[in-house]
């Protein structure tokens, strides 16, 4: 592969993978990273629906079914043809659920993935009637899907455990010039939080606020 040298490196990989990526991490720091608890994982279904769901809220949470439902075509109509809608359904799962899906590519895995999608669509239909009948395209993601595309161990969609009292590594590592960004550092998992973590690292790398001190107001 190609070797690129740099004075500063910002790592967006899962923190538990860092000891395998960096040879000279201090031993106690590497042990701390390896001991971190991962966040929950999830199963998700993605539907193309031949129905106009424009009257359904963009986001629906069903506490009774433990679901988060997003009608993304209500945010961006270009995501579906006229009279149709795109819907995603997500349910959080404990990390241990990763083992229930078997190895990707096996008949057991495909069956478990299909059953998870059917169960999600069935539950979502109780919130949005007619969803199953109108669905013309259905795809699904399992904990192993999330791991495949994000390399997050066991499909941890929020990086690390976000329970009260849980801790995350500081964005500056003990290795000079090595920074963390993403769901495994402050302020946590989720799109907005991850973007903020990148801004924090970038500000420190660029020297802010040392280079952007506020000017004194003249009287």
Cα separation, 154 vs 140, in Å, equals: 16
Q: Note whether 148 and 168 are within 8 A (CB).
A: no
The 10s digit of each residue's pLDDT in 166-206 is 889 999 999 999 999 999 999 999 999 999 999 999 999 99
β-strand 41-49 against 67-70: which pairing, if any? unpaired
Give strand pairing partners of 43: 91
Cα separation, 200 vs 181, in Å, equals: 8
Give the residue among 37, 161, 154 at the shortest CA–CA distance from 101: 154
**pTM for the complete prediction?**
0.87
Give the domain ranges of the chain: 9-38+158-206, 41-143
Give Dmax over CA atoms of the chain in angstroms: 76
Residues of the chain with pLDDT under 50: none
- Which CATH topology does 41-143 take? Alpha-Beta Plaits (3.30.70)
């Amino acid at each position: 592969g190609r070797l690129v040298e740099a004075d500063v490196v910002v790592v967006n990989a899962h923190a538990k993978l860092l000891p395998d990526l960096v040879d000279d991490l201090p031993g106690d720091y590497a042990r701390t990273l390896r001991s971190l608890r991962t966040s929950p994982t999830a199963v998700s279904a993605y539907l193309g629906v031949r129905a106009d769901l424009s009257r359904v809220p963009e986001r629906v949470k069903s506490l009774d079914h433990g679901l988060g439902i997003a009608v993304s075509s209500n945010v961006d109509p270009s995501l579906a043809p006229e009279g149709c809608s795109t819907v995603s359904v997500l349910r959080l799962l404990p990390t241990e659920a990763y083992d229930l899906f078997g190895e990707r590519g096996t008949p057991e895995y495909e069956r478990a993935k299909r059953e998870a999608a059917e169960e999600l669509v069935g539950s979502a239909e109780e919130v949005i009637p007619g969803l199953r009948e109108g669905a013309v395209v259905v795809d699904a993601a399992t904990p192993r899907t999330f791991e495949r595309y994000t390399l997050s161990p066991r499909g941890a969609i929020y990086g690390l455990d976000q329970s009260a009292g849980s801790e995350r590594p500081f964005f500056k590592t003990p290795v000079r010039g090595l920074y963390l960004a993403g769901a495994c550092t402050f302020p946590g998992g989720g799109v907005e939080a991850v973007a903020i973590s990148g801004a924090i690292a970038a500000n420190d790398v660029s020297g802010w606020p040392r280079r952007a001190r506020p000017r004194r107001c003249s009287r």
